[in-house]
Amino acid sequence: MKITLQDIGRRYNREWIFRHVDYTFSFGNRYAILGPNGSGKSTLLKVLSGSLTPSEGTLAYHSVNSPIDVEDIYQHTGIAAPYVEMIEEFTLLELIDFHFKFKPYLEGFNMELVKERLGFGSQVFQKEIRHFSSGMKQRVKLVLACCANSQILFLDEPTSNLDKEGERWYLDLVEATSKDRLLIIGSNQEHEYAFCNAYLEIMDFK
């Protein structure tokens, strides 16, 4: 799986958020999209995931040399981001069950291992998401994205709302689930992406 960008740009009203992005994201690598707050990292991730259309340029997805239509790319991706909403009226158990009806478990995972990876007490799984703290919600988002079987994984500000213990938990989760997939992280916090092997500076495309 790879994502190829040719002269990609995105603007909001008359202001260009980024322009002339030529880049290829290749399967098996870990990429960090870097830049200060408000620089356009999240916008680029939304373009890459197919939820936003670029204002100019072309974006192509290929899996083993076969093209994938942008309308179908969601079938191959997982995403955890501040703007991704969860159904807050669901209990955690209902949410996990609902999520994995649409996305199969990552190889080696099942319901019990996902519950174990979250690290919550057993009583929490009968609690509605709307009663969760921001840190608990972030853990749920990350586990649902990382433990689903997808070729591409997008993580935007992955440790937002997590404490120091939660940051260590995040690093363990990524280490356990990022093998043999394309990982793309939007961040300005080094601890979130220190393990990446390639970097794209969004400020280079202003």
Give the residue extent of every domain in the chain.
2-205
Stretch 162-166: mean pLDDT, rounded? Answer: 96
% of the chain exceeding 90 in pLDDT: 94
Stretch 144-157: mean pLDDT, rounded? Answer: 97
Q: String of b and e for 135-164 (b: at least 16 CB within 10 Å)?
A: bbbbbbbbbbbbbbebbbbbbbbbbbebee
Low-confidence winner among 37-41, 65-69, 77-81, 113-117 (lowest mean pLDDT): 65-69
Q: Closest Cα partner for 25 from 52, 47, 53?
A: 47
What is the pLDDT, as a whole number, of residue 64?
80
Stretch 185-193: mean pLDDT, rounded? Answer: 96
Given the candidates 3.40.190.10, 2.60.120.10, 3.40.470.10, 3.40.50.300, the CATH classification of the domain at 2-205 is 3.40.50.300
Stretch 132-146: mean pLDDT, rounded? Answer: 97
Taking all residues of the chain, what is their mean pLDDT, rounded to a whole number? 95
Local confidence band at 57 (pLDDT 50, 70, 90 cut-offs): very high
What is the pLDDT, as a whole number, of residue 63?
87
Local confidence band at 103 (pLDDT 50, 70, 90 cut-offs): very high
The per-residue pLDDT for range 66-75, each reduced to its tens digit, is 899 999 999 9
**Rounded (10°) CA dihedral 56, 61, 67, 72:** -90
